[in-house]
Chain A
C-alpha cells in the first residue's frame, strides 16, 4: 500500500512539476513535510472499555484510517469490561513508552493514578468521552453536564406539573462512578432542585446493562403507574428501558443519549426512544485525530498543556430525523 501511495504521490508531484514547468512555479507548502514527518512512526495506544460496542468501534475506525494516512501506529488494547484488565493494559503500555495513550475511563477514579503515572513518564494522555477526575493533556467527548441539563429541562417541558402531567420522572444511570453518570446526574439534580413541578421518583444504576435497565424500568413503572418520563444515560442500555415502557403500554417519555449509531435512529423511528441526544461519534473521531495530531506536533511536555473539546450535541427526534442524523459503522470503516 505504502509503496503504491508513494508511487502515486511521486507521479502526481511529477505531473505537477511538469505542469509547473510549463506554467507558473507556484508556492511550495513549507510546513507540510515537517508536519508529516512529525506524525510518521509515532505510536498511539488506545485502551477502550471494550471493543464490543459502537462508540469505541467508531472512534477506532476513524483513528485507524488516520493512522494509515499519516503513518503513525495505532495499537488497540481491549479492557474487555474490566477495570483491572484496563489498568493492566495501560500499565503495560506505559512500559512500552508510546507517544500517546488514548483511554476511555470506566469511572472517574480507577485509572486516575495510572494516567498520572503515564504523564510522569512523558506519555501524553487523551481521555475520550468518559473522563477521569484527573485531567490529562486532553479530553475529547460529550459534555455530560450539558446533556444532563438539556434532558432535565426537556423533562420540565414535557412532564412538568404545570403542564398538567404528574411530574414524576425516573433516572436509569450507568455505573454510579462513571463520568457519564456522575456529571449528568449532578446537572439533572442541580437543574431540578427546588423545582416543585418535577419529582425524581427513582434513580438507579443500570450498569450499562440492557437487561438490568429493563428490570429497573419495569419495577419503577409498576410502583409509579403515573410515571411521566425517564432519563436514560445511554441508548444501547436504554433499549431495555424502552422495551419495558412498550411492554407496559404506557406513554412514558424516554430521553436517552448515545453516540448516534444507526440503531439510535431506528429506535427513534420505531418509538423506543422519544429523544436521543447524540454526541456524534464520527465528529468525536474527527476531534480525536485532530487532538492526536496537535499533541504529536506540540513540543510541550506531557501534562504541560491541558485542553478539552466538548462534542456539539445533535438532538434526534421523530421530527428532526433525517438520513444524515446517524452513522453506520460499516460506512465509517470503509
Chain B
C-alpha cells in the first residue's frame, strides 16, 4: 500500500518524515501546478472552496504517480474542512480511482477512530512507536517553520535580492535530509547560521502582518509567494499561521509567537465566539499586530470560505477603529498572478507612504541588529 497526501506548504516534508519513521510507504504527489488545479476544478463540486479543489487535484496526481491509498486529516466542524476527506473519497470513486481513504480524526475528539486508522496503516506499530516518531518529526517540523519565520523577518534587509530565499531553501534542504534527533539539531543550527550570513543592510522597512486561512497562507502555489514578494519589496513580514501551530494550537512557544489564549483574548471585543476554522485567530492576530506597531495587514482567504468571511465582515470595522490599511485577497481558481501583483504593489506603496509621512507618531525604529537578536540561538523545543 502506497499512501498519498495533498500538499500544504512544508507538510509533505513533515508527513513524509513521519511515515518514513513508521515504515509506511508513500508517494509525494508532484508539486501543485496549473494542471493540479485544472483536475481539481474539473471534478470538484462547483461551489466547493478553493483548497478542496487543489487538494483533490493533488490526490489525483498522487494516484497517477503510483499511490493506491489516500491519507487526510478529518475534523469535527463547523468548517467544511472536516468533510473534505469523505467528499474527496466519493469523487475519486466516482471518477474511477477506487482507493481507500484513511481519515485521521483529531485524537482528542475521536481517540478510538484515530487508533483504528493508525492500526490499519501500521499494524505492527504501537502508539508508543508513533509517539517516538512524532516527537522527532515534530521537532523537525518546528525547526523548518522557525527557519521560515526568520527568513520572513530578514528578507526586507537583504543586500542582494534573493539571498534570503536561497539561504532558506538551503537550510530547509539541510533539515529535510537530517534524520536523527542530533542531526536535526545541528542542521537547524547550520540553517540559522546560513540565514545569519545573508548580507544585510540598514533600510526603512515598515511591518506588514499576513493573516488568513491556513491553506492559502501555507501553500506557496496558491498564494503566489505573497510573502516573498512583499519581503523583496522591503517589508518586514510576520505570518499568523504555521503548520505546527495549526496542528497543535495549544503550543507554549508557537512559531508565530503568540499563544492561542493571547490571540483569542485580543479577538474578544470584535468576535467573541468560536466560528470554526481560523476566523477568530484572524481577528486576534490582526489586533495583536496592530498593537505591536504593524502598519498594514494582508488578509488572504479562499472564495466562499465561511470562517474567513465572518472575519472579513468584521475587519473593516477594525481598520476604521485603528486607522490601518487592510487588504483582502479572495483567491480562487480564477485569480491571476498579475492581478494580485498589481493590488499588492498599490497596497505596499500606500503602507510605505504612510510610514514615510510619519503617520505613526510612536513608531519603533527597527534595525538589522535587532532582527539578528530575534533569531534565538539554539532554540530548544519546549
Asked if A pairs with B, the answer is no
Chain B residues with a Cβ under 8 A of chain A: none
